[in-house]
Amino acid sequence: MSLADLAAEHGLHRVGARPPFWQYLKQAWGRREFVWAMSRYRMRADLEGNRLGIIWLVLQPMINALIYGVIFYFLVGERGRGADYPAHVVIGVFLFQFFSKSLSQGAKSITGNQALVQSLAFPRVTLPVGEVIEQFLSLMPSMALLAVVLPLMGHLPSVEWLLMVPLLVLFTLFNTGVALIAARLTVHVRDLTQLLPFISRILFYTSGVLFNVNGVLAGNPTLLRLYDFHPLYQVLEMARAALMGGHTYDPMYWVYFSAWAVVTFVVGLLFFWVAEERYGRD
């Protein structure tokens, strides 16, 4: 009898072995309270060293929106600004920051917690998921600020604002899938963490965060059509339509982005789970 057969006969399992997929999800779900608490306390710990504390959660994206908005106001011209440029930029910057931080922090969730990964047995998926939850919690003060700032810009609350609830759910699902994929890739290719800021910056400048895509690309219908399948652009357009009013978009964006969110999350989850045994060993 081999050692493997002897271990199986006595109900012993290999340490660090990857469990079946559904059992893996069950184990991760069983640690949901830990993930939630870890996300909250980590966010608090990141802010405690700053004199302004939680105020930075709204001050930082507001400063970014102000700086980029002023610069691009003159760069894109009247056609590229579209209607109500300040609200356009603020919504874009706030939501894109949720994506970019989920990507960057999720990518480092395994490599940045090597001691924890190597010393304890737990579903590693909880680490990138916890990072996305932390970024979601950080987004909430910004959304509260939007509820105050947008009426000052002439966009009064309406029933359409409620569309932000399902949109943020889908966006969080999408960001989680992206974080899971990035987390595994950086385990195998550590240099990827050096490239991610450039990737994030390219997406920032090409997703319609700072300009009106329809105005800038009015003379290029082929490229304009491709934007209809750009997930980040879809999110921003749907958010602006919900919060600003009078902002039109193709209703099929809900179908497209729902597909993006579900497929990205499922692919990310499976992609991450397949390499579960390698985390902490590579």
What does DSSP assign to residue 230? -
pLDDT computed for residue 7 by the predictor: 44
Give burial (CB, 10 Å; 0-12/13-18/19+) of 23. Answer: exposed
C-alpha to C-alpha distances, 204 to 40, 138, 221, nearest whole angstrom: 27, 19, 21
Which 3-state string (H, E, C) describes 146-192? HHHHHHHCCCCCCHHHHHHHHHHHHHHHHHHHHHHHHHHHHHHCCCH
Distance CA 282, CA 279 (A): 6
Token pair listed for 29: 């779900």
Digit-by-digit pLDDT tens for the chain (282 residues) are 554 455 445 454 555 567 888 999 999 998 888 888 888 887 777 666 666 666 767 777 788 888 887 877 777 766 666 778 888 889 999 999 999 999 999 999 888 878 777 777 778 899 999 999 999 998 988 888 888 888 988 888 899 999 999 999 999 999 999 999 999 999 888 888 889 999 999 999 989 888 888 877 777 888 888 888 899 999 999 999 999 877 777 889 999 999 999 999 999 999 999 988 887 665
Residue 12, CB half-sphere, CA atoms under 13 Å: how many?
9
Residue whose C-alpha is closest to residue 69's, from 87, 95, 96: 87
Question: Under a CB-based contact definition with an 8 Å cutoff, are residues 107 and 179 in contact?
Answer: yes
Chain centroid offset of residue 174 CA = 7
pLDDT computed for residue 10 by the predictor: 47
Question: Under a CB-based contact definition with an 8 Å cutoff, are residues 184 and 273 in contact?
Answer: no
C-alpha to C-alpha distances, 205 to 63, 126, 200, 232, 235, nearest whole angstrom: 17, 31, 9, 11, 15
Distance CA 40, CA 38 (A): 6
